Amino acid sequence: MAEGVDAGEVLGGSVGFLLSKLGMTSATQFAETLEPLGIDPRHFGILRIVEMASGQSQQQLGEALHIPPSRMVALIDDVEQRGLVERRRNPKDRRAHALHLTPKGRKLYDQALAIATEYEEHLCEGLSERERDQLLTLLHKLAAACGPAGSHPGMA
Amino acid sequence: MAEGVDAGEVLGGSVGFLLSKLGMTSATQFAETLEPLGIDPRHFGILRIVEMASGQSQQQLGEALHIPPSRMVALIDDVEQRGLVERRRNPKDRRAHALHLTPKGRKLYDQALAIATEYEEHLCEGLSERERDQLLTLLHKLAAACGPAGSHPGMA
DNA sequence: TATTGTTATACTCTATAACTATA
DNA sequence: TATAGTTATAGAGTATAACAATA
């Protein structure tokens, strides 16, 4: 039998350990809820930033997300082949690709947002409204101290 | 210029997003503080579980951590070559390796624990004692709802 | 000459499954 | 025959740097 060993619950009193564990678990679960849409959290991140900053070039977005150019190619290829994002030639600078959501992309982004909201509810369902606000506040405090804002390191 | 795009701060109101982002950031930072010791968080996890469950076999520990046998080999090879963990033949079953910390391994584990504690302090230094307790309580609540306990998924 | 996007190469990490030695 | 540990192989994902088109 394998239960001579009880893994884990020693560092349960550590914020860092819990944060890292919960962060990974919730990210995995979120990815699973996104699966029916055929995308993963990184695609979601791309759709989100293209929506926020329509018409920007690949490398501009890549810089904002700390993704190297060569990786952006594959990522954008991916969402483009699904008909979610469109590469348009910029007439002012024909080297650059201006990125835009297609109608299909916008629709799917909205669906993904809805799923994200739903997952957020699920994640927090053990918490009262007040506890949830507290948690958010505390996490923001931590985030402020924990390195210079920036985007989600999971993209990079 | 690349700052036409302000990445990230839209989902800042999401517990899931913050959790995942902070978890990854803190894990990376913790790995960096461990670097002077020549180990990373996974080695630390191995040392920790060997310390907790001395004399267990590779596969018993692997099961507890959800690490497949073939990966355990490389991991244990690693800590053994550094003289931190010892594989002893079990006379009762000579197929199995009983794992033990060496004196050097124990010393390094203690050092790593000290570093972990120090990093934990650093991580929480923006929080009052009371806030820190609150956060810990809230994270535990979340953890209870978020899948069946288990060990840190980063090991598996 | 510098820059956007692309491609090619090489490297790391991992899981799968074959293998050995013991049982 | 079944199990502990090991090794071999193949696949995914990635960064690096060379490359083409345009500026």
Residue A9 is predicted with a pLDDT of 52
Region of A8 (left: φ > 0; alpha: ψ -120 to 50; beta: rest) is left
- Burial (CB < 10 A; 0-12, 13-18, 19+), residue B22, is buried
Query: Residue A149: its pLDDT value, please?
Result: 72
Report the DSSP beta bridge partners of residue B86: B100
pLDDT(A92) > 80: yes
Intra-chain end-to-end CA distance of chain A, in Å: 40
Closest of A103, A119, A122, A117 to residue A47, by C-alpha: A103
Judged by a CB distance cut-off of 8 A, whether residue A53 touches chain B is yes
Q: What is the model's pLDDT at position B56?
A: 96
What is the structure's pLDDT at B120? 97
At A100-110, the pLDDT tens digits run 999 999 999 99
Tokens representing A36 are 């029916």
Q: Which residues of B touch A21 (CB under 8 A)?
A: 23, 143, 152-154
- B108-149: pLDDT as tens digits: 999 999 999 999 999 999 999 999 999 999 999 999 888 777
- Closest nucleotide to residue B70 (Cα to C1')? D6
Q: Chain A residue with minimal CA distance to B24?
A: A20
Q: What is the DSSP letter of B148?
A: -
Which pLDDT score, from 0 to 100, does residue B3 have?
39
H/E stretch holding A143 reads helix A129-145
Considering only residues A55 and A150, tell me which one the structure prediction assigns the higher pLDDT.
Answer: A55
Predicted confidence at residue B8, as pLDDT, reads: 47
> At residue A143, does pLDDT exceed 80?
yes
The spacing between the Cα labelled CA in A54 and the C1' in D10, in angstroms, equals 41
CA neighbours closer than 13 Å in the CB half-sphere of residue B58? 21
pLDDT at position A155: 87
At A23-46, the pLDDT tens digits run 999 999 999 999 999 999 999 999
- A135-138: which pairs have CB atoms within 8 A and are 24 or more residues apart? A135/B15, A135/B135, A135/B138, A135/B139, A135/B142, A136/B13, A136/B15, A136/B18, A138/B127, A138/B131, A138/B134, A138/B135, A138/B138
CB contact under 8 A, B60 and A4: yes
A121 in the Ramachandran plot: left (φ > 0), alpha (ψ -120 to 50) or beta? alpha
Which pLDDT does position B1 carry in this prediction?
36
* Averaged pLDDT, B70-83: 96
Residue A129: how many CA atoms within 13 Å on its side-chain side? 0
Is the pLDDT confidence value at B9 over 70?
no
- When CB atoms are compared, the residue of A24, A125, A127 closest to B138 is A127
| CB distance A52 to A100 below 8 Å | no
The total number of residues written for chain B in this structure:
156
Q: List the B11 CA – C13 C1' distance (angstroms).
A: 31
Could you give the percent of chain A with pLDDT greater than 90? Answer: 83
* Residues in CB range of A104: below 8 A, 6 or more apart: A83, A84
List the 74-133 stretch of B: residues with Cβ below 8 A of A: 116, 119-120, 123-127, 131-132
**pTM, to two decimals:** 0.91
Per-residue confidence band for A2, with pLDDT thresholds at 50, 70 and 90: very low
> In angstroms, rounded to a whole number, what is the distance separating the alpha carbons of residues A116 and B32?
31
| Buried-state track A44-62, b at ≥16 Cβ within 10 A, e below 16 | bbbbbbbbbbeebbbbbbb
